[in-house]
């Protein structure tokens, strides 16, 4: 019988604009592996900095949606994306991220620096066939 490792404090984050089942799958998979799950919502300003546009749903509303999900123990709005800064703030011992990020320079670096601080990185399978970008394209085509 396989025993799933239970981490004490888990962390995942995202924009969570136009919340969809892929977002839910990520949160549920993360919660199965930790006792306490913190979910970070990227602030409108942070999203604007790296995506060059604001989310459709404002940060406070996105945070409220995330906070209402079973299994989310704490929701935070983040003004940074740097995982070391977030580690200092929240003290997690595992980070969950979609496996579409595996092998990227950014996440290879995070794996190294977080590993030096005894924080694991767990890649959760990406939900095929759905993304916020695809949803936006469908809306625009109607």
For 7-18, how does the pLDDT look when each residue is reduced to its tens digit (9 = 90+)? 999 999 999 998
pTM of the model: 0.90
Token pair in block for residue 34: 């930790």
Do the beta carbons of residue 95 and residue 83 sit within 8 Å?
yes
pLDDT tens per residue, the chain (142 residues)?
445 668 999 999 999 998 999 999 999 999 999 999 999 999 999 999 988 889 999 999 999 999 999 999 999 999 999 999 999 999 999 999 999 899 999 999 999 999 999 999 999 998 877 787 788 788 788 7
Do the beta carbons of residue 17 and residue 57 sit within 8 Å?
yes
**Among residues 136, 50, 129, which one has the least CA distance to residue 14?**
50
Token pair in block for residue 73: 């123990």
CA atoms of 135 and 23, how far apart (whole Å)? 13
């Amino acid at each position: 019988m396989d025993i799933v490792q239970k981490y004490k404090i888990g962390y995942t984050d995202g924009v969570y604009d136009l919340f969809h089942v892929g977002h839910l799958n990520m949160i549920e998979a993360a919660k199965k592996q930790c006792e306490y799950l913190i979910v970070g919502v990227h602030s409108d300003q942070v999203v604007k900095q790296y995506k060059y546009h604001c989310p459709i749903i404002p940060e406070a509303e996105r945070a409220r949606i995330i906070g209402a999900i079973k299994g989310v123990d704490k929701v935070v709005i983040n003004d940074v994306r740097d995982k070391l800064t977030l580690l200092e703030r929240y003290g997690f011992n595992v980070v969950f991220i979609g496996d579409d990020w595996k092998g990227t320079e950014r996440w290879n670096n995070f794996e190294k620096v977080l590993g030096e601080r005894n924080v694991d990185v767990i890649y959760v399978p990406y939900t095929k066939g759905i993304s916020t970008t695809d949803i936006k394209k469908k809306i625009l085509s109607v």
